A and B are shown apart, each in its own frame.
Chain A
Amino acid sequence: MTQDNRRFAFAVALAATLITVSTALAAELTGLRGSTPVDQEIAPPPIPNEVNDDKRQSRNYPEQPPVIPHQTRDYQITLNANKCLTCHSRQFTAQSQAPMISITHFMDRDGQILASVTPRRYFCTQCHVSQADTPPLVENTFRDIDTIIGAERSEGSQ
């Protein structure tokens, strides 16, 4: 068996394994489509209402961009205007009582602190999104750091 042939055989074996694994995963991970084959359409579920209660949600980890607890329909975030910043920018938070954009938003990629939001943080909905109160589509086993530390402590004390 030459070097090339061996490589080819390895590639085939790897591909076969990947296909098997991904098929197995696909059977478990039933998202919005459910188990409907890709060549068929499903009847789309109703669009849920956006959460609009203005109650801050806790973050799952400190770096998580906070989620938006209000509707944002028709909010314009363009090069010309940014509706979010009319409440959340530093100068308007006293008037609006909205949380100010974090200080990380003032630092550009060269580490320079600017007078206001930097272009790389300007498009709010890249990270922050409005929420809908719906059950998760797939199971999520994420545990936050306090849960993990708590579990370890209780294990250690036993």
Chain B
Amino acid sequence: MKGLIAKGWGLVLQTWRILSRPSVHFSLGFLTIGGFVAGIMFWGGFNTALELTNTETFCISCHEMRENVYAELRQTIHFTNRSGVRATCPDCHVPHKWTDKIARKMQASKEVWGKIFGTINTREKFVDKRRELAEHEWARLKANNSLECRNCHNFEYMDFTRQSQRAAAAHSTYLASGEKTCIDCHKGIAHQLPDMKGVPGWDVTDTESMDRLRAAITTAASD
């Protein structure tokens, strides 16, 4: 163990000696211009690769996304509507600003882990985990004041006269005052909701009798 540390330290010292001395074989011009060009290529390549992982095609290349959340999205107004403007996965699930995007991408390494170990690789596993996954997204959108919603739905430009009375009433009070943010009321607009037991604003049923109903339906379905 001690030998290994000494060896490692030796390697660090050697590298530092190379980096701290002037180059013997390459001209300063070659090194600066070459470094600049290599930098552009690296940066361009990095961003291209990043953008490649920021497309719907990439998201639904995994069956977990394609057969669960994407299939559900296809039914909703964020997928098909009169004007044909639609939201893709990253529009709502990845921040647009660069620093925020990188932060989210680093978090997403957890999702790679999940993919490798098959955390939600069957419908049953996905349904069982849906509440937890949904809660992550609700918490994220609550914390950033529904940033991804607001990338398209800008409060400043909302015309209350073109909204239904109910919508205008809610938006001009709760949203305008900042008391609530989009996700507080608009949960489940793009995907099926998990069991909403205990979620504020949604827990409105007699839990015991709903459990009985759920049991009855499950039994009927398995018969």
Contact = CB atoms under 8 A, between A and B. Distances in A.
A73 B81 CA distance: 11
B204 A117 contact: yes
Contact of A119 (B75, B189, B196, B213): B213
A81 B206 CA distance: 12
B192 interface: yes
Contact of B206 (A78, A83, A116): A116
A52 interface: yes
A122 B192 contact: no
28 contacts: A52-B164, A54-B166, A71-B164, A74-B75, A76-B192, A78-B192, A79-B195, A79-B213, A79-B214, A80-B194, A80-B196, A81-B188, A81-B193, A81-B194, A81-B195, A81-B202, A82-B202, A82-B205, A83-B188, A85-B205, A92-B204, A97-B169, A108-B209, A114-B209, A115-B206, A118-B209, A119-B210, A119-B213
Interface of A: 52-54, 70-71, 73-74, 76, 78-83, 85-86, 89, 91-92, 96-97, 108, 114-119, 122
Contacts of A83: 188
What does DSSP make chain A's interface, helix, strand, loop or mixed? Answer: loop
B210 A122 contact: yes
Contacts of B166: 54, 70, 96
A96 B212 CA distance: 29
B167 to A, nearest CB: 10
Given A54-B165, A119-B213, A89 B204 contact: yes
Contacts, number: 70
B76 interface: yes
What does DSSP make chain B's interface, helix, strand, loop or mixed? Answer: loop
Interface of B: 75-77, 164-166, 169, 185, 188-189, 192-196, 201-202, 204-206, 209-210, 212-214, 216-217
Contacts of B195: 79-81
Contacts of A71: 164
Nearest to B197: A80
Contacts of B169: 97
A30 B205 CA distance: 43
Nearest to B218: A79
A19 to B, nearest CB: 38
**Which of B165, B189, B209 gathers most chain A CB within 10 Å?**
B209
Closest 6 CB pairs of A and B: A119-B213, A89-B204, A81-B193, A85-B204, A81-B196, A116-B206
Nearest to A79: B214
Given A91-B204, A119-B209, A119-B213, 10 more contacts: A70-B166, A71-B164, A80-B196, A85-B205, A86-B201, A86-B204, A114-B206, A116-B205, A122-B205, A122-B213
Contacts of A117: 204-206
A93 to B, nearest CB: 11
A52 to B, nearest CB: 5
Contacts of A115: 206
